[in-house]
C-alpha cells in the first residue's frame, strides 16, 4: 500500500536585520532637533547682547509740569542698558509708578531700538497738611522736594479723612459762591470739629454737627453781619442753634450777636 506523505511548506521567515533607512530616520530627527535647539540658544544669546540690540532712545510722553524730563532720562538710563530684548519693562514701570508726581505710567518697547514711556502726572487740587497734596479723587501724595503751588487751598485732617475733607470743601465752596468768598483753609481737627478760613481773612467755627447747614446759615446772615458793625469781621461762631457770634477786629474783644 502506498503511503502518502504530507509535505508542509516552510513559511518564509522575515529577515532579522532592519534596513539602514530605519535607523537613519530617527537619527536625522535627533540631529535636526539638536541643531535647532543649539541654534535657538545661540540666537537667544545674541538677542541678549546689548551691543547687538541697544536701546537708542527713551521717549517720554505726557503733559508734565512738575516732573523734570532730563532727570527722568538720567533715572531711566541705567535700566535701559540691558538691551532692547532684555530691558525690564515691568521694573521700569514699577520704579516710575513709585515717583510721587506720577499718577499713572505705561512702558513698552517700540521696534527696533526705542522704549516708550507715557506718564500721567498727578494733579494737585489742594494742599494737605504740611508738605502733601490731594488729587481730584482725594488721594494723598507728597513730593520729595517742597513745591509751592500758588492759589491752592490748605486742607488738613486726621489720616484717612482726606476724601471726606475734600468732599466737604467742594460742597462748602459751592455754598459760599453767592457771596464771592473762597475758602483758603479748611481743617477737621482731632475732635472732628470743622474750622474754616475765607480769603477775606474771616474765620468760621462750625463745630462737629451739620457743618453744611451752618455754612448755609452764615450765607443767609452775612448781609446782616456786615451791616451790623463798622469794622472788619474777624470771626463768626456758628455753633449756636439760634444765632451767630461775631467778633470784630482783634482790638474789640466783645462778641456781638445777630439773629
- Residue ranges of domains in the chain: 57-121, 126-258
CA distances from 120 to 23, 62, 114, 147 (A): 64, 6, 20, 18
**Residue of 37, 47, 41 lying closest to 87 (CA atoms):** 47
Q: What is the CATH number of domain 57-121?
A: 3.10.20.310
Question: Do 57-121 and 126-258 fold alike per CATH?
Answer: no
Return the CATH superfamily for domain 126-258.
Answer: Cell division protein FtsQ/DivIB (3.40.50.11690)
State mean pLDDT over 236-245: 90
Say what percent of the chain tops pLDDT 90. Answer: 63
What cell numbers appear for 216 in the block?
448755609
Q: What's the pLDDT tens digit per position in 18-64?
A: 565 554 565 545 444 455 555 554 544 544 565 778 899 999 999 99
Q: Which helix (H) or strand (E) holds 138?
A: none
pLDDT at 18: 57
Angle at 201 between CA 195 and CA 206, to 5 degrees: 20
- Phi and psi at 5, nearest 5°, equal -100, 135
Those residues with Cβ within 8 angstroms of residue 60's Cβ, 6 or more apart along the chain or in another chain: 69, 72, 73, 117, 119
How sure is the predictor about 148, in pLDDT bands with cuts at 50, 70 and 90? confident
Q: Which of 22-36, 109-123, 138-152 has the lowest mean pLDDT?
A: 22-36
Q: What's the pLDDT tens digit per position in 62-114?
A: 999 999 999 999 999 999 888 888 899 999 999 999 999 999 999 999 999 99
Q: What's the pLDDT tens digit per position in 179-214?
A: 999 999 999 999 999 999 999 999 999 999 999 999
Amino acid at each position: 500500500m502506498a503511503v502518502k506523505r504530507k509535505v508542509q511548506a516552510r513559511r518564509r521567515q522575515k529577515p532579522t536585520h532592519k534596513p539602514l533607512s530605519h535607523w537613519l530616520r530617527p537619527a536625522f530627527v535627533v540631529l535636526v532637533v539638536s541643531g535647532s535647539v543649539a541654534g535657538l540658544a545661540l540666537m537667544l544669546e545674541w538677542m541678549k547682547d546689548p551691543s547687538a540690540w541697544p536701546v537708542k532712545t527713551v521717549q517720554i510722553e505726557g503733559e508734565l509740569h512738575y516732573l523734570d524730563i532730563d532727570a527722568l532720562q538720567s533715572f531711566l538710563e541705567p535700566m535701559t542698558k540691558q538691551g532692547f530684548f532684555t530691558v525690564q519693562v515691568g521694573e521700569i514701570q514699577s520704579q516710575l509708578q513709585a515717583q510721587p508726581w506720577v499718577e499713572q505710567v505705561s512702558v513698552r518697547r517700540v521696534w527696533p531700538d526705542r522704549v516708550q514711556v507715557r506718564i500721567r502726572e498727578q494733579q494737585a487740587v489742594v494742599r494737605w497738611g504740611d508738605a502733601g497734596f490731594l488729587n481730584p479723587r482725594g488721594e494723598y501724595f507728597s513730593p520729595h522736594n517742597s513745591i509751592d503751588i500758588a492759589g491752592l487751598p490748605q486742607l488738613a485732617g486726621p489720616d484717612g479723612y482726606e476724601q471726606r475733607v475734600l468732599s466737604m470743601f467742594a460742597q462748602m465752596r459751592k455754598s459760599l459762591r453767592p457771596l464771592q468768598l473762597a475758602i483758603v483753609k479748611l481743617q477737621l481737627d482731632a475732635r472732628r470739629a470743622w474750622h474754616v478760613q475765607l480769603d477775606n481773612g474771616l474765620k468760621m467755627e462750625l463745630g462737629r454737627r451739620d457743618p453744611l447747614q451752618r455754612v448755609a446759615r452764615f450765607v443767609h446772615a452775612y448781609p446782616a453781619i456786615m451791616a451790623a458793625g463798622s469794622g472788619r469781621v474777624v470771626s463768626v461762631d456758628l455753633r449756636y442753634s439760634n444765632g451767630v457770634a461775631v467778633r470784630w477786629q482783634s482790638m474789640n474783644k466783645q462778641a456781638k450777636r445777630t439773629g
